[in-house]
Amino acid sequence: MKVFIAGASGLVGGNCMQHFAEQGWEVAGSYFSFQAPNTVYYNTLVPDDGNNFDVKKFKPDVIVHCGAMTHVDNCELYPDQSYQQTVQSTINLIALAKECNARFVYISTDYVFDGKQGPYTEDAPVSPLSVYARHKLEAEQMALKEIENTLVLRITNVYGDEVRGKNFIARIIEQCINKQKLTLKLPYDQYASPANAWDIARAMYVLLRDNKKGIYHIGSTDYLNRVELAMRVLKYFPDAEYDLIPMNTAELKQPAARPLLSGFVTLKFSSEYPEFMFSNVDDYLKKKTQHT
């Protein structure tokens, strides 16, 4: 299997590139603004950029789209930029997948829901609340419509190993290890099901291997709010100095609306792969702190 991953310098794309390669697949992973090790340049917004990796020559069986504008509040403030990075990039990669006769994988989000009746199964009615959510849903639906065997993975609160350590859990770990005092103003009313990017890569691998298509919710055994998530990390650093200020979402006055009771029920995936074991936040933290 030959796979091209757009956005492989990020958390999900990087883990996918590593796992697929370890399974013996031939993988090319791209970067745009930040060059992670072993990635090639590809600008999804300018398909004819002369510096782009030659995807057509590579002849992928699968194109995985991991890139998007993910800063939810910036999407609200800069909707045109959000559209370009999330929707237009998808339009361009769908066209590329058609030219290559490749399958398409789109990474989506629980933000396609309004957070009133979560956690959600795949057939729950969508109701996006923000610019980010509307653009993710538009791109998701377009991919499913344009390429018949598209695979959509909805994920949320992703953490794990990445070159830049940008995710929520990684940032707390780094500050604790560096003996920096943390000030955490976090919502106690936003619930989700965090997933390790390594588990997402493993799940995507078996779904692609078995020619699955359609929407799958990928989560883990954790279901908790942001305060609980921070405390789960901090308990592994008993000497950490921090101020934790629980707030409700309205008090945070964030530009973009958030789904509150969100996250996933992974019954569809788990019923098809009952032997697949998702890890949880504690598993990750035990591994990360055993040598500190």
Chain segment 45-92, per-residue pLDDT in tens = 999 999 999 999 999 999 999 988 889 999 999 999 999 999 999 999
CATH architecture of structural domain 2-158+194-217: 3-Layer(aba) Sandwich (3.40)
Measured distance CA(286)–CA(201) in Å, rounded: 20
Q: Per CATH, which fold does 165-191+223-261+280-289 belong to?
A: UDP-galactose 4-epimerase; domain 1 (3.90.25)
Indicate the pTM of the whole model: 0.95
CATH 3.90.25.10 residue spans of the chain: 165-191+223-261+280-289
C-alpha to C-alpha distance for 249 and 67, rounded to whole angstroms? 27
Q: Return the SS3 of 217.
A: strand
In tens, the pLDDT along 186-213 reads: 999 999 999 999 999 999 999 999 999 9
